[in-house]
């Protein structure tokens, strides 16, 4: 008998918030073992340069300094690896050294690591280094980098890192040849910085007696970091390292993989004979952490005379930065596969070229390719509606994949199991009063505002990470302990997993204790990424708890002299149904052998899940300044099954804010001539604030997933996928209605919009 108060579907507040709000959390900055030394990374001020380092003796002589490490000192370490592949594409991966030697390739490239008693002493030593720089011309911007005569990032290879093609080129060409209408759009999906609340940090320790490292770090998965750092960089067996992750304040994909500093603190701890701690300052985060997005795309849509989509052709240039980061090549590939979106498009051909540039490497950032795909197709569909003089919702309805067509295989080989796209779009429009927009446009005009409304219907592929294993144990005091290899970075795993356990065991959440982020306690784990913690980790929790419940019933049946079939579990006891005869969990724990008190389950998904939904945005634009105000925001999503509606709304709100931040504010800017990162701090890089954001109206219209045992589709990235195109479609709608402006790239800042309005006025006067 499931306790509905705590079980699946209930809007429980998060159990983990109380200590975090009281300052009782334990983040990487809070961890300092006895005798810890502090590490500082010396980073290049040049985007592309040859260099030599002198003054090491002077730096070493600074009081408190223990180590001054350069490339020569770390030569035994392996390169930072790129582990992602692309089917049928052979990648040639350039060396990504832990410390650069002879040549730096982006501002922020690491050239030395200094270890001292304090950060201040390490910084003083860094000032003593005499580094001679011979500047080389930088390649900035992926499109420019691929042009003939562009400076080479790597002397032994072209700036074309790799390329791939997806779909049927001949079929697509034939469809375009017979099209009644062809619509083309050029888009920039700008580079952005993943600004989590706590910057990355790591602490290395070394036990010489056991020849074993311990690394404590802020990550999205301890096992993946351990496995890559030990095998590829330190070149030691996996069992020679323990990785521990304490509380984490945001990850967004960019804390999922290893970085140079994780190997450096371990290596330095062994050399110094003491723990070594490094924590990034915020500007260092801008210079050293993987960045996201950065695509330039030309997309073409072929339509027949009835407005039916015939084919899609997309050409994308993706900026990889100076090195290939861990999962970087896979990001444009998974995005390319989702380009058809929610539409019945018979033919598709996609060509992606990836370029090296003298910039910080890119890698997974919330959504990892799927937001880029949704942005392209949803902006393109709106452009087609304008050219055909058809309402954008009507054009979508004509071309949505119908529920009766499920399972549906797209032209890029994705197989959608479920989806009722027209239905959730209709619901979102009804909530937003889509049909009443004309009167609101007129009212806004009287106030000197341009009113616009836009929508985006998105779909993504997620929920496929794994395998994942969980262990659920009844402790002697009657509480439940959970060990699992996922990693919460603020999503609320403690609460979510407790609700899944409550469905089987009837325990309130305070009697469930979750343990993550320790490779010694938890033997395997895939970490948290791709919205897989609930669709994969949650499935294993439910499976292990179900097995444990059966064990408890067997033990209770013996004690109560009853058949297990006659027993039920609720409120921390096992009772004979319909009677007052029962036995408590602590009593069961005393009676049972240990192997009966623990149950495990493993789940390895063989295909992705496909969450989808509709975002509707309504905006006012101040014609005199270009400033945008969001006046209404509606989201209706299909996540299959809702585990906790309160936490789900939080996930969607957070993701939407990140997408709106990109749409309106955020942009990573490199100077074209020098390669300097112009936006290297919050003084220059704009972030969304509460005042920029509207109240969100959020609903679900769920269709249970057929690819997942519990029906979950995943929700962690969805808000960031639907928000950018919906927002930009709303802004362009306002500009198009007033001044026939439709060319506008993110971020839609006030100066950029004002300039577009002025250009629109000029053209109308001609």
Establish if 699 belongs to a structural domain.
yes
Residue 227 is part of a domain; what is its CATH number? 3.90.1170.50
Determine the average pLDDT of the residues in 260-266: 98
Residue 747 domain flag: yes
pLDDT at 3: 44
Beta-ladder partners of 115: 39, 67
Which pLDDT score, from 0 to 100, does residue 668 have? 98
Q: Are residues 514 and 365 in the same domain?
A: no
Tokens of 299: 């997309």
What are 734's two structure tokens? 């306002």
Are residues 78 and 215 located together in one domain of the fold? yes
Give the integer Cα–Cα distance in Å for 61 and 58. Answer: 5
Share of the chain above pLDDT 90, in %: 98
Whose CA is closest to 286, among 331, 308, 318, 254?
Answer: 254
**Does 149 fall in a domain?**
no
43 within a domain of the structure (yes/no)? yes
With 60 as the cut, is the pLDDT of residue 497 above it?
yes
Backbone angles phi, psi at 456, to 5 degrees: -145, 130
Residues 89 and 204 occupy one common structural domain: yes
What average pLDDT does the structure give for the chain?
A: 96
**C-alpha to C-alpha distances, 159 to 134, 187, 474, nearest whole angstrom:** 21, 22, 57
Shared-domain flag, residues 206 and 342: no
Distance CA 698, CA 719 (A): 11
**Which pLDDT belongs to residue 4?**
55
Contact of 654 with 646, CB cutoff 8 Å: no
Is 419 in the same domain as 327? yes
Task: Name which of 454-463, 465-474, 688-697 the model is least confident about.
Answer: 688-697
**Per-residue pLDDT averaged across 446-465, rounded?**
96
Q: Is 490 left (phi over 0), alpha (psi -120 to 50) or beta?
A: left
Q: Which of 570, 585, 603 is the last residue before a domain boundary?
A: 603
Q: Based on the domain organization, do 107 and 232 belong to the same domain?
A: yes
* Cα distances (angstroms) measured from residue 369 to each of 201, 293, 376: 26, 8, 11
In a domain, 161, yes or no: no
In this prediction, residue 766 has a pLDDT band, given cuts at 50, 70 and 90, of: confident
Residue 750 has pLDDT above 70, yes or no: yes
For residue 1, pLDDT beyond 50:
no
Regarding whether 318 and 276 lie in a shared domain, the answer is no
Q: Cis before residue 747, ω within 30 degrees of 0?
A: yes
**At residue 261, does pLDDT exceed 90?**
yes
Query: What CA–CA distance (Å, rounded) separates 164 from 316?
Result: 10
Phi (first) and psi of residue 28, to 5 degrees? -60, -35
459 Cβ contact list (under 8 Å, min separation 6): 338, 341, 342, 374, 416, 419, 421, 610, 611, 612
Residue 193: beta bridge partners? none
For residue 480, the enclosing domain spans: 17-25+464-603
424 and 316 both lie in a single domain: yes
Find the Cα–Cα–Cα–Cα dihedral 682, 686, 692, 696, rounded to 10°: -100
Backbone angles phi, psi at 474, to 5 degrees: -85, 120
Indicate the pLDDT class of residue 445, thresholds 50, 70 and 90. Answer: very high
Does position 2 have pLDDT exceeding 70, yes or no?
no
Question: pLDDT, tens digit, for every residue of 170-228?
Answer: 999 999 999 999 999 999 999 999 999 999 999 999 999 999 999 999 999 999 999 99
**Overall number of domains in the chain:** 3
Distance of CA 201 to the CA centre of its chain: 19
**End residue of a domain, out of 581, 603, 625:** 603
Burial class (CB in 10 A: 0-12, 13-18, 19+), 231: middle
Average pLDDT in the 219-239 region? 97
With H, G, I as helix, E, B as strand and everything else as coil, classify residue 561: coil
Q: Residue 648: inside a domain, yes or no?
A: yes
Task: Report d(CA 369, CA 6) in Å as an integer.
Answer: 35
Spatial separation of the C-alpha atoms in residues 283 and 265, rounded to whole Å:
20
pLDDT for 687 beyond 50: yes
Can you list the positions of beta strands (E) in 239-304?
241-244, 276-279, 292-303
Q: In what order do the strands lie in the sheet with 292-303?
A: 160-167, 347-356, 309-321, 292-303, 181-192
Residues 562 and 495 occupy one common structural domain: yes
Pseudo-torsion of CA 195, 198, 199, 202, nearest 10°? -150
User: Are 552 and 664 in the same domain?
Assistant: no
Q: Which residues is 50 bridged to in the sheet?
A: 103, 134
CA-nearest of 439, 462, 244 to 337 is 462
Q: What is the pTM of this model?
A: 0.97
Quick one: pLDDT at residue 571? 87
How far apart, in whole angstroms, are the C-alpha atoms of residue 120 and residue 282?
A: 16
Q: Find the CATH number of the domain harbouring 416.
A: 3.30.365.10
**One domain for residues 225 and 355:** no
Residue 175 lies in a domain: no
* Domain boundary residue, one of 239, 273, 288: 288
| Residue range 230-238: mean pLDDT, rounded | 97
C-beta neighbour count of 589 within 10 angstroms: 20
Q: Tell me whether residue 166 is in a domain.
A: no
How would residue 692 be classed by pLDDT, with cut points 50, 70 and 90? confident
Give how far the C-alpha of residue 57 lies from the chain's centroid of Cα atoms, to the nearest Å.
Answer: 43
Helix/strand/coil percent split, the chain, to 5 = 35, 25, 40
Residues 664 and 632 in one domain: yes
């Amino acid at each position: 008998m499931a306790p509905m108060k705590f079980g699946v579907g209930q809007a429980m507040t998060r159990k983990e918030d109380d200590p975090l709000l009281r300052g009782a959390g334990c983040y990487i900055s809070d961890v300092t073992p006895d005798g810890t030394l502090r590490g500082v990374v010396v980073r290049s001020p040049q985007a592309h340069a040859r260099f030599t380092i002198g003054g090491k003796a002077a730096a070493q002589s600074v009081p408190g300094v223990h180590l001054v490490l350069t490339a020569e000192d770390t030569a035994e370490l392996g390169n930072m690896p790129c582990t992602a592949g692309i089917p049928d594409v052979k990648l040639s991966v350039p060396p990504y050294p832990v410390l650069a030697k002879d040549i730096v390739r982006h501002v922020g490239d690491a050239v030395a690591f200094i270890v001292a008693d304090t950060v201040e002493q390490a910084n003083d030593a860094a000032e003593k280094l005499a580094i001679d720089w011979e500047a080389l011309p930088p390649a900035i911007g992926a499109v420019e980098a691929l042009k003939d005569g562009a400076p080479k990032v790597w002397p032994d290879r072209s700036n074309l890192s790799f390329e791939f093609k997806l779909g049927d080129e001949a079929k697509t060409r034939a469809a375009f040849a017979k099209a009644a209408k062809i619509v083309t759009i050029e888009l920039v999906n700008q580079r952005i910085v993943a600004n989590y609340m706590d910057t990355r940090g790591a602490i290395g320790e070394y036990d010489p007696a056991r020849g074993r490292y311990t690394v404590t770090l802020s990550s999205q998965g301890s096992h993946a970091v351990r496995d890559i750092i030990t095998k590829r960089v330190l070149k030691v067996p996996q069992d020679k390292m323990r990785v521990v992750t304490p509380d984490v304040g945001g990850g967004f994909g960019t804390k999922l993989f290893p970085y140079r500093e994780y190997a450096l603190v371990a290596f330095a701890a062994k050399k110094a004979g003491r723990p070594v701690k490094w924590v990034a300052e915020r500007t260092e985060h801008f210079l050293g952490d993987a960045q996201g997005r950065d695509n330039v795309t030309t997309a073409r849509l072929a339509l027949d005379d009835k407005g039916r989509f015939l084919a899609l052709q997309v050409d994308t240039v993706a900026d990889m930065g100076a090195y290939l980061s861990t999962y970087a090549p896979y990001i444009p590939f998974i995005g390319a596969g989702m380009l058809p979106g929610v539409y019945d498009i018979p033919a598709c051909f996609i060509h992606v070229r990836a370029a090296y540039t003298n910039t910080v490497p890119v890698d997974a950032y919330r959504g990892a390719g799927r937001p880029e795909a949704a942005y392209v197709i949803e902006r393109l569909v709106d452009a087609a509606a304008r050219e055909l003089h058809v309402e954008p919702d009507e054009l979508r309805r004509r071309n949505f994949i119908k529920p009766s067509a499920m399972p549906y295989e797209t032209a890029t080989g994705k197989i959608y199991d479920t989806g009722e796209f027209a239905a959730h779009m209709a619901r979102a429009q009804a909530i937003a009063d889509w049909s009443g927009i004309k009167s609101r446009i007129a009212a806004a005009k009287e106030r000197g505002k341009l009113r616009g409304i836009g929508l985006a219907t998105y779909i993504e592929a997620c929920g496929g990470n794994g395998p994942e294993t969980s262990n659920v144990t009844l402790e002697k005091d009657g509480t439940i302990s959970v060990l699992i290899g996922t990693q919460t970075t603020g999503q609320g795993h403690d609460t979510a997993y407790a609700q899944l356990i409550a469905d089987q065991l009837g325990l309130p959440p305070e009697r469930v204790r979750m343990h993550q982020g320790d490779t010694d306690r938890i033997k395997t784990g895939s970490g948290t990424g791709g919205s897989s913690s609930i669709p994969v980790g949650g499935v294993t929790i439910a499976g292990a708890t179900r097995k444990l419940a059966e064990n408890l019933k067997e033990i209770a049946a013996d004690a109560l002299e009853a058949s297990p079939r006659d027993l039920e579990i609720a409120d921390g006891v096992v009772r004979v149904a319909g009677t007052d005869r029962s036995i408590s969990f602590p009593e069961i724990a005393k009676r049972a052998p240990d192997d009966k008190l623990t149950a495990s389950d493993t789940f390895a998904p063989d295909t992705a899940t496909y969450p989808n939904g509709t975002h509707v945005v309504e905006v006012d634009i101040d014609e005199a300044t270009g400033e945008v105000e969001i006046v209404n925001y509606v989201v209706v999503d299909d996540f299959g099954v809702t585990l906790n509606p309160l936490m789900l709304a939080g996930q969607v709100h957070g993701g939407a804010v990140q997408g709106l931040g990109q749409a309106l504010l955020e942009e990573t800017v490199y100077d074209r001539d020098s390669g300097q990162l112009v936006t290297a701090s919050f003084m220059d890089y704009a972030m969304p604030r509460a005042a920029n954001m509207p109240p969100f109206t959020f609903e679900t219209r769920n269709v249970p997933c057929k690819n997942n045992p519990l029906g979950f589709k995943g929700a962690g990235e969805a808000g960031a996928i639907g928000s950018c195109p919906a927002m930009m479609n709303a802004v362009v709608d306002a500009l198009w209605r007033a001044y026939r402006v439709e060319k506008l790239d993110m971020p839609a800042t006030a100066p950029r919009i004002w300039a577009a309005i002025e250009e629109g006025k000029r053209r109308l006067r001609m």
